[in-house]
Each structure stands twice: as structure tokens, then as C-alpha cells.
Amino acid sequence: MTKIEKIVLSYSGGLDTSIILKWLQETYGCEVVTFTADLGQGEELEPARANAEMVGVKDIRIVDLREEFVSDFVFPMLRANALYEGQYLLGSSIARPLIAKHLVGIAREVGANAVAHGATGKGNDQIRFELAVNALDPSIKVIAPWRQWNIRSRMQLLEYAEKHHIPVPSDKRGEAPFSIDANLLHTSTEGKILENPAEVAPDHAYQRTVDPVDAPDTPEIVTIGFDWGDPISVNGKSMTPAALLTELNGLGGRHGIGRLDLVENRFIGMKSRGIYETPGGTILLTAHRGIESITLDRAAAHLKDEIMPRYAELIYNGFWFAPEREMLQALIDHSQAFVSGEVTLRLYKGSASVISRASPCSLYSADLVTFEESTIAFDHHDAEGFIRLNGLRLRSWVARNGR
Ligand code: ARG
């Protein structure tokens, strides 16, 4: 066993990771550096500093990763139109490799030989953190307190806090709260009543979108500009990636867009039920498909759709830093060279629908498709031969089988 000399902890500042922080100090008797990432979770991050100081942490890192998160992780994933099991926009999955990357970076900088996280033993997140650390620096050990200590219930967790003088906020004293994971792309809510998939999710399980029923009765029109497959402007105004996603989250949230109540298959083996809210991401996925519809060649578009489930599953399962994900990414990125232009959508009571699209690189030809007189040479007799040859094998087949 290698001796743990210094640990970098992924620290939210909340109760669970504060207990983990204390436990690491006690168990390993070494310095713990805390790393708190601002991923746009919409929570105050300064309490993380105060809470870490309280237990004697000397090296406290609070880093704003919002732009990096959106430009280097969310946008590359959106280029693929990635959805896990047909529906989930992977908001938690895509944040883990970024956090792991920074944990490893700080560990190297401060000379730590271990990193720690607060993910539990039943979830996907532990896999994502640890596979990423494996891929980035195999010399760094990962400590997962939830798999190691003998705290087995919420009660025991609170007892540990009391014993070690970790303040427990009054709202955390009672029943376990929902397990929430939020960032600029989504909010994921699991646990409690949601664990019964037959129970209808209560309205308070949703935090960043209104119920579509209560959304404004007047639709809102929004135009999104794309360049090389990435969104760059909203209503003609250029924006940085994080600012753009923030803007669309506001718009989408007001119109009840991007709610999902899903039972999914975790990589670790069980099914789980969760509520997702991905307002801006849902608008962007629809808009991106809209701009691709006029700028991608048919075979290119269909190939992208074929590999998409595989690509999404790699991200879900924690293989962001794996060679096969990078290979697929190269293919996806290559396809985006002409995916530029503008898409206009109507936001209305939970739906985001494309109502127009335009591109200087469009492959769409009105002259070719028109029902009217056309200037482009298109010989209708070619269509006849095309169908006759495609039908050749069908005619042989039915001749043998009989109908
Ligand atoms: N099930 C989702 C995933 O694996 C979300 C996990 C984190 N969410 C949470 N509420 N703790 O990507």
C-alpha cells in the first residue's frame, strides 16, 4: 500500500463533502486540499471557503469552470446530438471528466498522490471520476469514502457530524433531501419519493423550469446562430458559450422546456428514476438538428445518427478520455465544417420547435425540389429507372415466396 501524502478533494462545501473532508483528515492524517468548481450550479460558493477554513484547510481552490465546461465538454457533445437511451442529455455525465481533469491538475501542482470524491457506491459518477483519473494520471490514487467508511445511513452521517462539530443546517436534520446535481447544462433530481417510479413526481422536485401548464400563453421566438456546429449567438447577439447557455436556460425555464422524467439503466447495473431539467440544452439540441438538416449531406447525417447512441453511451459510462470517444469525436467534428447559419425556434408551453432555418452553406435547393417549373435539369425518366432497379430484388423475392 502506498502511503497517502496529500489529498485533493472534490468539495461542494455542503454537509456530505464536509463530513468527507473531516473523515479524510482523521483517517489519513495528511493535508487535504479542497477543490470547488463553479459549473454554474447556481449556488453560492463562498460558504465552501468558510466551511473548509473551519476544519483547518489551508489550500482552498474555488475555480470558475463555466466557460471551459460549455466550450470543451457541452458543445462537443451537442455536435453529436448525444442522448442516452434516446432521451437523457447527459448533464451530470459530461461534468465529471472536467472535474476529474482539474482534480488531477491540482494534485500534480501541489504534489498530492491522491484525489477524493463524494460519489456513492451505487452510482455512475464514481465510475466517471475514476475512469477519467485512470486515463489522465494512473499514478494518482482515488479515495471514495462512501465505499470505505462504515457510515451506512443518513442518521449515522448526522451522528458523525455532531461528534466532529460539523454544523448541520436545520433543513438537513430531518429526512434525507432529494439528491440533486446541478450545473449549467442541467439539474438532476433523484431519491426520496422519486425512487418509486409509479409515483408522480411532485411539483417541488422541479427547480429551474415552470410547469408547461403555467408557462406564458404567448409564444416566444428566438433565433440561434451557429458556426462550425457550435451556437455563437442569440437573436443576433454574439455570446460566449457559458453566457449563451445561461441565456437559453432562462428562456427555456420560463417556457417549461426540457423537463424529463426518466427511468434509466445505470452502468453499475440497476435501473434508477430521476427528474431532469435541461432547458437551454433542449433548445440547442433542437436548433442544432435544425441547422444540420440543411447543411449536412444525407449519408453524413445518417452516419452521425448511427454512431450517436454509441458515443452517448461512452459518455454515460465514463469513457470521455478513452481513445474510442476521441475517434468518434474526430468524426463528429469533421462533419461540422459547414454546419453554420441561423435557426429560429418558437418556445411555447414546454416545446421548442424549429420554425425557420437558413445557411450560407445550405445544401437545400428549392429549384431542385420544387413542384413548379424548374431550371435545374432533372430527368423524370431517371426516377423511373431508379425505382425499377431498386425494386428488382423485391420482385425476385416475392416471385419465390408468393404473396
Ligand atoms: N443518473 C444521472 C447520471 O448518471 C444523474 C446522477 C447524479 N444526479 C444526482 N441527482 N445525484 O448521469
- As a whole number of Å, the CA-based R_g of the chain is 25
Q: What is the CA(89)–ligand 1 centre distance, in A?
A: 11
Which residue out of 87, 88, 124, 180 has the highest number of ligand 1 atoms within 8 Å of its CB and is therefore the one to mutate? 124
> Is 125 part of the annotated catalytic residue set?
yes
d(CA 136, CA 64): 21
Of 349, 86, 327, 95, the C-alpha closest to 215 is 349
Average pLDDT over residues 172-201: 93
Average pLDDT over residues 264-284: 98
How many other CB atoms are found less than 10 A from the CB of residue 85? 13
Ligand 1 atom with minimal separation from the 90 CA: 12
What cell was used for 231?
A: 451556437
Q: What is the CA(276)–ligand 1 centre distance, in A?
A: 9
Ligand 1 atom 6 nearest Cα = 92
262 ligand 1 Cβ < 6 A: no
Distance, CA of 47 to chain centre: 26
Hey, what's the torsion of the CAs at 235, 237, 239, 245, to 10 degrees?
-20
Residue 169: predicted pLDDT: 85
Distance, CA of 97 to chain centre: 11
d(CA 7, CA 400): 72
Cα→Cα distances 154→55, 174, 253, 278, Å: 21, 9, 32, 29
pLDDT tens-place string over residues 338-363: 999 999 999 999 999 999 999 999 99
Residue 154: predicted pLDDT: 84
Judge whether 128 and 120 are in contact, CB under 8 Å.
no
Residue 282: predicted pLDDT: 99
Q: What is the CA(181)–ligand 1 centre distance, in A?
A: 7
359 ligand 1 Cβ < 6 A: no
**3-state secondary structure (DSSP) of residue 116:** strand
Which residue out of 125, 206, 208, 272 has the highest number of ligand 1 atoms within 8 Å of its CB and is therefore the one to mutate? 125
Residue 184 has pLDDT above 90, yes or no: yes
pLDDT tens-place string over residues 10-57: 999 999 999 999 999 999 999 999 999 999 999 889 899 999 999 999
190 ligand 1 Cβ < 6 A: yes
> Is 16 part of the annotated catalytic residue set?
yes
Ligand 1 atom with minimal separation from the 180 CA: 10
Hey, what's the torsion of the CAs at 310, 316, 320, 325, to 10 degrees?
0
Q: What is the mean pLDDT of the chain?
A: 96
Residue 117: predicted pLDDT: 98
pLDDT tens-place string over residues 211-260: 999 999 999 999 999 999 999 999 999 999 999 999 999 999 999 999 99
Task: Write the single-letter amino acid at 155.
Answer: M
Residue 267 has pLDDT above 90, yes or no: yes
Average pLDDT over residues 196-207: 97
pLDDT tens-place string over residues 116-162: 999 999 999 999 999 999 999 999 999 999 999 999 888 899 999 99
DSSP E strands: which ranges in 50-184?
A: 60-64, 114-116, 141-143, 179-182
Q: What is the CA(180)–ligand 1 centre distance, in A?
A: 8
Q: What is the CA(188)–ligand 1 centre distance, in A?
A: 6
Predicted TM-score (pTM) above 0.85: yes
Distance, CA of 398 to chain centre: 48
Name, in order, each residue with C-beta under 8 angstroms of 243's C-beta and a sequence gap of 6 or more: none
From the list 125, 230, 325, 359, the catalytic residue is 125
Of 330, 78, 66, the C-alpha closest to 229 is 78
Residue 173: predicted pLDDT: 82
Long-range contacts of 217-223 (CB under 8 A, 24+ apart): 219/346, 219/347, 219/348, 220/251, 220/254, 220/255, 220/346, 220/347, 220/348, 221/344, 221/345, 221/346, 221/347, 221/355, 222/248, 222/251, 222/283, 222/344, 222/345, 222/347, 223/342, 223/343, 223/344, 223/345
